[in-house]
Amino acid sequence: MKCTNWFNYKFGMFETMISAFIDEYPKYLRNRKMLLTAFVCFVEFLLGIPCIMEGGIYVLQIIDWYCAVFSLMLLSFTECVVIAWVYGADRFLSDIELMIGYKPSVWWKICWKFITPIVIIGVWLFSVIQLKPVSYGDYQYPDWAIAAGWMLGLASILPLPAYALFGILTTDGTLIQRISKLTKPSPLWGPAVERYRIKYEASRSSLGTSGEIYFPPTIMCGDDNCNPDSEQCALSNTKHIS
């Protein structure tokens, strides 16, 4: 049972990481998913070796102390705010509808925009207030180990402001115009697979001011059963086949 739970946990983590790499570099990685997965597993295996050696519990305690609470909560809060408020909860719900075929409950929108960010930032603030130098039982870590722990915790947070600063410096316009442009959804976002992207862009063209997206019915037509120039094909999300 423990092995099953471990595999379930690892599957979600690895699939998210590998999908992000593939979506960022589809030209090079989409047909090499197995090799990429094996490489990531091997690298994480090497990184995990220090945690299972004789003093591994002390290394694990530092990682858990400064990464699992301090940085993870802040990253989760940032992700939730960006998805719900920058990208837009309505837009995200419509993306999910495009993928699964039905629109999720409005409860998810309420959670993403209000409940989850408030709970996360509350837990994070409480953890920061209660934070004290790392220890394991009666053992007190030296100053260099505490500094290493802070470096580990900040290593996953610093890329956020660093990339934001990079975006501001490389975007045209005044400072206000740059920030306004960077806090809006990019028109380049969308599915990497071409046939899904075509449908995605078609749905985006139907996005009105209300935030609702109309998904026109898909018609599969060929030379024998449909005229590509007909009004029916012009008004529908039609895919012509030969």
Residue indicated by tokens 């990464």 = 67
Contact 77, 124 (CB under 8 A): yes
27-60 exposure pattern, b = at least 16 Cβ within 10 A, e = fewer: eeeeeeeeebeeeeeeeeeeeeeeeeeeeeeebe
Note whether 108 and 115 are within 8 A (CB).
no
pTM across the whole model: 0.70
pLDDT at 77: 94
Q: What is the pLDDT of residue 208?
A: 44
Q: What is the mean pLDDT of each run of 10 residues along the chain (242 residues)?
A: 70 85 88 93 92 92 87 91 91 88 92 96 91 90 94 92 94 92 82 80 60 41 48 42 40
Pick from 88, 31, 86: which is nearest to 204 by CA?
Answer: 88
pLDDT (0 to 100) of residue 189: 77
Residues found in the chain: 242
pLDDT at 72: 87
Locate 242 and state its tokens. 């030969």
Smallest CA-to-CA distance from 128 within 73, 197, 78 is with 73
**Predicted pLDDT at 207:** 52
Rounded CA-CA distance 73/209 in Å is 33
